[in-house]
Amino acid sequence: MAHLRLFASLREIAGTNMVEVEADTVGAALDFAVDQYGERFAAGLGTAQVWVNGDQAERTTPVSASDEIALIPPVSGGTTAIDHSADLTSSVLAGTLWVTVLLANLISTEALAFAAVGSTIAWLWDISDTYALRRPSMQMIPAMAGTTAGATAAYRFGEAGLAGGLGLAVMFALSWAVFDKRNRSVETLSLSTLLSAVGALGAGALVLVRLDSAAKVTGFLVIAGLAAVASWAGRRFGGASIDPNLAMALIVIVAGIVIGALAESLEILVMVLSAALAAGGLIAGRTLGSLVRNGDVLHTVRAPGMLTMLDPAIVGIALWWAGLLLFSSLGA
């Protein structure tokens, strides 16, 4: 039997995220689902994107027992067409923040710390807004405070400061439930705590890398930028023939080799190993963003939100810093 995967409002209407259907075409599978779940489901289906094994599909697309049909309604209305103007707006906004961080890195560690905190807070705000389209909103003030604490403590006290700032970030999120009822459910409390910790770790790690070397920050920004381009290209042109995570990881590792070979102040072995570790962080960040924004891990379409391209980088920088820390002795 073919597997029909449901997302967002369609999943909530059906009360399940997976349905097995006897069908030989997409149209037959959709008709089966409408018969099962009624008019509300049919209305939501009218604006949903339909994918078979990662490729956009039509009602006439044939399916077999091993195929997976994904029904993805737009989070806040719209049509089934991919909104390339939203892609462009998102790219411009993320690119602006990327350039801001790059310029701040060239100026000083203090400027970089301000840019890191500002960019991470913008990301937290964006990811909170998109989450609120699916679920009751959660309070992001503790996560923003935690991000500021992580970067500030890392700048002032180094690695020990980052550890303390991370602890403060978790404390802020857990304590906020006392003041705000929206953060008292298990889901919202755990998610706000996670985002607070991720924000503090990401901003703090970027500051620590800058304290070590401006060139290493530039190296990560190049890697993160190439990963974002690879992700966009894979989603736009790759279809099911290219695994976006594998493509992104390969590009990041190749970029690490090139950066290590071209930059005299950087050891190529350290860059390659750190890039490999950062690649895992970029994939983890992409997965985290998809879970919060879509409600499931989904990489075949652009997730809602204007700063989705920052999802990988926020986690990736922490693994880049960890790689530099772990492998620095190899270049000595």
The DSSP 8-state label assigned to residue 300 in this structure reads S
Same domain? For 26 and 108 the reply is no
Same domain? For 64 and 148 the reply is no
Q: What is the pLDDT of residue 76?
A: 39
Strand-pairing partners, residue 19, are: 4
Average confidence score pLDDT of the chain: 84
Strand-pairing partners, residue 25, are: 62
Burial 38-52 (b: 16+ CB within 10 A, else e): eeebeebbeebbbbb
Same domain? For 51 and 153 the reply is no
Lowest mean pLDDT among 22-26, 35-39, 54-58, 115-119: 54-58
Same domain? For 43 and 113 the reply is no
Same domain? For 213 and 293 the reply is yes
Same domain? For 103 and 223 the reply is yes
Q: Identify the band that residue 134 occupies on the pLDDT scale cut at 50, 70 and 90.
A: low
- The answer to the question of residue 77 being in a domain is no
- The answer to the question of residue 79 being in a domain is no
> How many separate domains does the chain show?
2
Q: What is the pLDDT of residue 298?
A: 66
Q: Identify the band that residue 214 occupies on the pLDDT scale cut at 50, 70 and 90.
A: very high
In what side-by-side order are the strands of the sheet with 49-52? 18-21, 2-6, 68-72, 49-52, 55-56
pLDDT tens, residue by residue, 64-103? 888 888 887 764 333 334 444 556 777 888 889 999 999 9
Same domain? For 30 and 104 the reply is no
Lowest mean pLDDT among 15-19, 78-82, 110-114, 269-273: 78-82
Q: Identify the band that residue 261 occupies on the pLDDT scale cut at 50, 70 and 90.
A: confident
Percent of the chain clearing pLDDT 90 (strictly above)? 41
- Alpha-carbon span 2 to 151, nearest angstrom: 48
- Alpha-carbon span 291 to 63, nearest angstrom: 27
pTM above 0.85, yes or no: no
Q: What is the pLDDT of residue 237?
A: 64
Domain, as residue range, for 112: 84-331
State which of 15, 45, 72 marks the end of a domain: 72
Same domain? For 126 and 255 the reply is yes
State which of 72, 95, 122 marks the end of a domain: 72
Please work out, in degrees rounded to the nearest 5, the angle formed at the alpha carbon of residue 137 by the alpha carbons of 90 and 178.
Answer: 135
pLDDT tens, residue by residue, 234-256? 666 655 556 677 878 888 999 88
Residue 108 has pLDDT above 50, yes or no: yes
